[in-house]
Amino acid sequence: MTMSAEPENPASAPDPEAGASIAATAGKRALLGVDAPLRLDSGATLGPFTVAYETYGTLDSLKSNAVLVCHALTGDHYAASTHPVTGKPGWWGDLIGPGKVIDTDRFFVICSNVLGGCMGTTGPRDLNPATGRPYGLDFPVITIGDMVRAQGLLLDYLGIETLFCAIGGSMGGMQVLQWASACPERLFAAVPIATAARHSAQNIAFHEVGRQAIMADPEWRGGAYLDAGTRPRAGLAVARMAAHITYLSEPALHRKFGRRLQSRERLGFSFDADFQVESYLRHQGSSFVERFDANSYLYITRAMDYFDLWEANGGSLPKAFEGTKTRFCVVSFTSDWLFPTAENRKIVHALNAAAANVSFVEIETDKGHDAFLLDEPEFHSTVSGFISSAWAARQKAVRA
């Protein structure tokens, strides 16, 4: 399959309201699927398509030190570099870098924007070559498996046959599990964090609320809002507000906000943001719409909903990992009610049943699902210890 470097400014839809926001995407890009399109789980095909990515560190001469970092639902490839839209540090900058948990003096780290995303990888906001207009809802529905196949093509493009490790939390953890199930021969170690082998009914329900909020916004225009030079800002903001609640925990909300009032001494007897927690959620919603595309939100949440390693393996999760030689470290957090420890234990039980090499750690914290993105020392030390031991085993295997 022929693959080539992507031009500096690949075709994407003009977005008058975006200004310098989601349209501004720096970083590396690869044009993939040039000779043969990517066949998707839906039966549709996509190609050529662009994958935006960032790398950190140096690939060694044996190409044995590559680490794939998989981002979550609203993340992107700026895992350890300044975000070009928000100006904020990378979302995993505490973990990735020289001398850090994922040590870029030792490892070559790759992080790509997922298929269907809005930060440079081909998605619904890009131009459909068949029409010259934004894809909108003409973009094919994608799955976690499709995302991983696109990542596999990126590795081929970079000349990397096998990964030392794949690591990610939440939807990133789903990608790690998909890698381990579909391509075990390309993966030495896997760290799925705060995730599940299939999306629960509760989580599908939360996603549906968010999607309906977007689609109920008159500016959504049946998904064709870019043609009209507008965006469903209100709907996307509400979707983000609802989702953000699930990333936290009740103790964390109480500690951070309680029932404290926002910039006032008494209740306003109105529907303004009386409480600090209301103001916080409104800020989360309004800032999110500046960096994310509404249709991408629909597509990526749907991909998470469709993820089900049980169904993909005839109702048997152990079968997904049958015969695997990949080493696993599964991590959960006590206060995570979005992907609770019970869901992570199911993964561990399946790996045990498949006679896989697996360790499991439950981190005590009240920071909720987002703990994997925060400064959590026990989490950092757990991942650091696993990576160090797995790397020693990898080096021994390479020398053998």
d(CA 31, CA 51): 7
Of 77, 84, 70, 75, give the one whose Cα is nearest residue 20: 84
Residue type (1 letter), 311: E
d(CA 307, CA 213): 22
* Paired tokens of 45: 């095909």
Of 205, 22, 196, give the one whose Cα is nearest residue 117: 22
CB 372 within 8 A of CB 379: yes
CB 334 within 8 A of CB 251: no
Residue type (1 letter), 299: Y
| Secondary structure (3-state) at 39 | strand
d(CA 188, CA 204): 31
Is 240 marked as binding a ligand?
A: yes
Contacts for 86 with CB less than 8 Å, ≥ 6 apart: 287, 290, 291
CB count within 10 Å of CB 203 equals 18
Does the annotation count 170 as an active-site position? Answer: yes
CB 113 within 8 A of CB 79: no
CB 221 within 8 A of CB 228: yes
Q: How many CA atoms lie within 13 A of 92 on its CB side?
A: 32
Does the annotation count 199 as an active-site position? Answer: no
Alpha helices in the chain (DSSP H): 144-157, 171-182, 201-216, 233-247, 250-256, 276-288, 294-306, 309-312, 317-320, 341-353, 377-399
Is 136 buried (19+), middle (13-18) or exposed (0-12) by CB count in 10 A? buried
Does the annotation count 369 as an active-site position? Answer: yes
CB 52 within 8 A of CB 386: no
Is 76 marked as binding a ligand?
A: no
Considering 64, 112, 170, 181, which one is annotated as catalytic? 170
Considering 77, 83, 199, 369, which one is annotated as catalytic? 369
Contacts for 275 with CB less than 8 Å, ≥ 6 apart: 257, 259, 260, 261, 262
Q: Which contiguous run of DSSP H or E holds residue 340?
A: none
Q: Is the peptide bond before 218 cis (omega within 30 degrees of 0)?
A: no
CB 360 within 8 A of CB 330: yes
Annotated binding site: 240, 370
Annotated binding site for substrate: 240, 370
Q: Which residues are catalytic?
A: 170, 336, 369
